[in-house]
Amino acid sequence: MSSIDLSAPAGDPYTAPDFAAAALITIDVQGDTLDGAPLEIPGTTAALPAMRTLLDAFRQTSRPIVHIVRLYRPDGSNVDPCRRGAVEGGLRVLTPSQDGSQPAFGLLPEPGLTLDTDLLLAGGIQQFAPREVAIYKPRWGAFYNTPLDAHLREQGVTTLVFCGCNFPNCPRTSIYEASERDYRIVLATDATSGVYEHGEQELAAIGVQLMTAGEATDAVAATGGRPSSASLQRKGTAQ
């Protein structure tokens, strides 16, 4: 018996990105995940230029940007079980207020900005610019026990463009969480470390659009900085 292809076709009205109502989500792009750092994730440093290209495009069109970050208390109390023993044993990675926990150079809108780790660990949203914020996540997924979904709905967002570190873990989990919440989703493949072919195929099967940073940048720029009617409707519904 032949199998049925349930993948969303290109241009599907339910999954096609609406870049006029898009937000950019960066995942765990922090000093300790870069080349030569204690939690080095291969490919993250190499992906930084593509991430910055996306950030420039979203800033120029006044689209929302959310930097999702991970912070590990030195006592291990908020650390994933698979790493908790190592942190309790003295491993210092993503430690609040230390340099390695800060976003990678060039990621934030102005030099000298740093994370307010007390605010973030308390579940708050740190604002860097009118439409650019940081949110702390306690586990792999950006939506798990965070204010991310409420923040995005308040902004009238319908489409999420993901980039960052490290695809098999946090970006992939966050993408599936976003799909469960009916967001339209784009993965910027060259702006994300750890992307592999089978993972791309799995994402395409649930309607995720795979683009390069350049393609996503062009799509955002083409909107001219105007919100779509769909985003305005969604924002009004959320209020």
Q: What is the pLDDT of residues 104-127, one digit of tens each?
A: 999 999 999 999 999 999 999 999
**Quick one: angle between helices 213-221 and 44-60, nearest 10?**
0
CATH number at 171 reads: 3.40.50.850
Asked if residue 6 is part of any domain, the answer here is: no
Asked if residue 185 is part of any domain, the answer here is: yes
Asked if residue 1 is part of any domain, the answer here is: no
Q: Are 213 and 50 in contact (CB under 8 A)?
A: yes
pLDDT the model gives residue 3: 52
Of 162, 218, 207, nearest to 182 by C-alpha is 207
pLDDT the model gives residue 32: 98
| Amino acid identity for residue 111 in this structure | P
Asked if residue 13 is part of any domain, the answer here is: no
Q: Are 68 and 135 in contact (CB under 8 A)?
A: yes
Asked if residue 67 is part of any domain, the answer here is: yes
Q: What is the value of pTM for the model shown? A: 0.91
Q: Which residues pair with 136 in a beta bridge?
A: 69
pLDDT by residue (tens digit) across 129-163?
Answer: 999 999 999 999 999 999 999 999 999 999 999 99
Of 181, 91, 83, 194, nearest to 138 by C-alpha is 83
In the chain, which stretches have pLDDT less than 50?
1-2, 4, 228-239
pLDDT the model gives residue 7: 55
User: What b/e sequence results for 203-231 when a residue is b if at least 16 CB atoms lie within 10 Å of its CB, and e otherwise?
Assistant: beeebbbebebeebbebbeebeeebbeeb
Asked if residue 87 is part of any domain, the answer here is: yes
pLDDT the model gives residue 2: 47
Any idea which residue has 């150079």 for tokens? 105
d(CA 15, CA 62): 23
Asked if residue 4 is part of any domain, the answer here is: no
What's the structural domain count of the chain? 1
Domain span holding position 206: 19-238
Asked if residue 14 is part of any domain, the answer here is: no
d(CA 205, CA 72): 34
Q: Which residues pair with 22 in a beta bridge?
A: 159
